[in-house]
Amino acid sequence: MISFVLPALNEHEGIADTIKECFVAAAALELNDIEVVVVDDGSTDGTGDIARMAGATVVRHPAPGGYGRALKAGIEAAKHDTIVILDADGTYPLDRLADFHRLYSEGFDMIVGRRTGPQYRESAMKSPLRMILQFLVETTTGQRVPDVNSGLRMFSRGTIRPYFSRLSETFSFSTSSTLAYKMTGKFVTYVDIDYRERAGVTKVRLFRDSLRTLQFIIQAILYYNPLKIFLLVSLGCVGLSVVLFLLAWITQLLSLFLLGVGTLLVSLLVFSIGLLAVQLKEIMHQ
């Protein structure tokens, strides 16, 4: 038993083929009682009607509410506990669904499709932004994260539901779910998939969505491991104070020495706030 959840905003070009692929892939595993839930997130091109005719259960939003919000609605509407999420634009192949299902049966909490292949090209601007986000996520979790925001994932509804209040309602849902799982000790693994060219026009806005993702990374650190961000800022202040002390020694300027002392005191203050944040987190989680 498995439920596929597809958020869709004006995806009339690829939605029917994607739904068909879900049914075919699940049938190949001889899974019975399969459903495809499409969340029509305020489409104006008949996406919901096409999805319904293709055999999907359709949840309709009167206006666009965001990628993450649509996924949450679809997960709640699904009949089964085993959930597979993917985009409705045909970019994610399901030819390795058997590997996802096997790893899920072995006890992994989340299986993520790691995008590869010639269609997974990065523009000159997009590549460094993704590298920065990947570095931040890996630094935050202390673990390797091969694909930060892949939209193809398998997990249990019962496992992800407690995190709903902490997960983004926008494009950052994927990244925030990875952070939530990894920072609370859940088992996450990756399966390589051959990413395909999308049908239709992308809804991703590079800078806007990257900034939102950065926001949720910072929020995740503050929620799950607050000392880490305060410690990084504190160490940065210590490093700056050392530089100021050296410059004061070279130039014999008292003002630089005093500025170094002030910066060092700030580092101690920030570290102390970090310790208080840890205690507050423990109280809130009791």
Closest CA relative to residue 237, chosen from 256, 265, 218: 265
Residues 220 and 235 in one domain: no
Among 224, 242, 277, which residue terminates a domain? 224
pLDDT top residue among 68 and 231: 68
As a whole number of angstroms, the distance between CA 276 and CA 253 comes to 36
As a residue count, the chain comes to 286
Q: How far is CA 21 from the centre of its chain?
A: 24
As a whole number of angstroms, the distance between CA 154 and CA 22 comes to 13
Per-residue pLDDT tens digits for 67-85: 999 999 999 999 999 999 9
Number of other residues whose CB lies within 10 A of the CB of residue 15: 30
Q: Which two tokens stand for residue 130?
A: 């993704």
Residues 136 and 242 in one domain: no
Least confident of 6-20, 45-59, 63-77, 108-122: 108-122
Residues 161 and 249 in one domain: no
Q: What secondary structure letter does DSSP report for 198?
A: P
Q: Nearest 5 degrees, angle CA 80-CA 86-CA 87?
A: 135
Residues 248 and 275 in one domain: yes
Per the structure, the complete domain to which residue 144 belongs is given by: 2-224
Strands, E, within 135-248: which ranges? 153-156, 188-194
pLDDT top residue among 23 and 138: 23
Among 209, 224, 239, which residue terminates a domain? 224
Closest CA relative to residue 19, chosen from 43, 49, 63: 49
Closest CA relative to residue 17, chosen from 60, 59, 47, 62: 47
Per-residue pLDDT tens digits for 203-221: 556 566 667 777 777 777 7
pTM over 0.75: yes
Dihedral, CA of residue 249, residue 254, residue 257 and residue 258, to nearest 10: 180
pLDDT of the residue at 227: 78
Quick check: helix, strand or coil at residue 2? strand
Q: Which two tokens stand for residue 15?
A: 């939605």
User: What is the average per-residue pLDDT within 122-127?
Assistant: 54
Residues 150 and 273 in one domain: no
Residues 211 and 271 in one domain: no
Per-residue pLDDT tens digits for 73-116: 999 999 999 999 999 988 999 999 999 999 999 999 999 999 98
Number of other residues whose CB lies within 10 A of the CB of residue 282: 9
pLDDT of the residue at 124: 44
**Average pLDDT of the chain to the nearest whole number:** 87
pLDDT of the residue at 278: 74
Say what percent of the chain tops pLDDT 70.
Answer: 91
Say what percent of the chain tops pLDDT 90.
Answer: 52
Residues 62 and 139 in one domain: yes
pLDDT of the residue at 205: 61
Q: How far is CA 54 from CA 17, 38, 79, 148, 256, in A?
A: 9, 11, 18, 31, 71
Longest Cα–Cα distance of the chain, Å, equals 79
Residues 72 and 194 in one domain: yes
Count how many domains the chain has: 2
Residues 201 and 243 in one domain: no
- The enclosing domain of 75 has a CATH number of 3.90.550.10
Residues 91 and 215 in one domain: yes
Q: Quick one: the chain helix, strand, coil %, rounded to 5?
A: 55, 15, 30
Among 224, 253, 276, which residue terminates a domain? 224
Per-residue pLDDT tens digits for 16-25: 999 999 999 9
Residues 135 and 261 in one domain: no
Instruction: Work out the pLDDT band at 263, boundaries 50, 70, 90.
Output: very high
Residues 81 and 142 in one domain: yes
